[in-house]
Structure 1
Amino acid sequence: MTDEKQEMIDRVYAELENVIDPELDIDIVNLGLIYNVDIDDADNVKITMTLTAMGCPLAATIVSDIKSSLEELQEFGEIKEVEVDIVWSPQWDKSMMSRYAKIALGVHES
């Protein structure tokens, strides 16, 4: 992977930190919901993620917020299309959260 591509992936992750899970009030990156960000040779972005629970009623809202958070990168031609792929494997659990998210939510590790 080129340095330029890695920089753009890092920028996408930074923008995704602005997407807040409406139920938990923590961003989706620190919650550990983002499994992968890939940018192809045509500058299309594919985000592979999960949700905290199957059947989450806010899935469409979160996907919409993700796409909105990346609009500025699209407007400046840095990325093209954004695809969000929601997967259920591996299943999300609290161990995937960052230390910040665990502290904010009062999750104690044993």
Structure 2
Amino acid sequence: GKTPNSAAPVASTSDGPITEELVWDQLRQVFDPEIPINVVDLGLIYDLQLEPLPQGQTSVLVQMTLTAQGCGMGPTIARDAQQRILSLTGVTRAEVRVVWDPPWHPEMMSAEGKKRLGVG
């Protein structure tokens, strides 16, 4: 398959179906304002599901958590994730659910996330 050029803006065109990778690319642009690492590398995304809709449209459901239950930025982070997913051509519905089970732990971070935070 083709790998998108990371320097190019990530956006789907209407000539291809929405793929999980396109959605993951959008989620990699969502950051916790208190930590300079995207929500994917932080390990905050627990589940991502694509559901085909009529006329080639797609519905996306994301389950994510936050680094702490008291995080006041939670609604903002979830809304940012939802807006980025909805910016993909062909996505007509995006739901981002914040869940607390299992609780987030630094071990859930990707190798890149751990390297950036200097842990691991």
> Is 1:49 paired with 2:64?
yes
Other structure's SS at 1:22 match? coil
Aligned residue pairs: how many?
101
Task: Find 2:109's aligned residue among 86, 91, 97.
Answer: 97
Compute the RMSD of aligned alpha carbons. 1.5
Residue 93 (structure 2) aligns with: 81
TM-score normalised according to structure 2 size? 0.78
Q: In the aligned structure 1, how far is the partner of 2:107 from the partner of 2:39? A: 14
Unaligned runs of at least 5 residues, structure 1: none
1:71 corresponds to 2:82: no
Q: Distance in 2 between matches of 1:46 and 1:72?
A: 14
Q: Which has the higher helix share?
A: 1
Larger relative strand fraction: 2
Matching of residue 58 in structure 1 with residue 92 in structure 2 = no
- State which of 28, 42, 55 in structure 2 corresponds to 1:31: 42
Q: Which runs of 5+ in 2 are unaligned?
A: 1-15
Q: Distance in 2 between matches of 1:94 and 1:85?
A: 20
Q: Distance in 2 between matches of 1:71 and 1:40?
A: 14
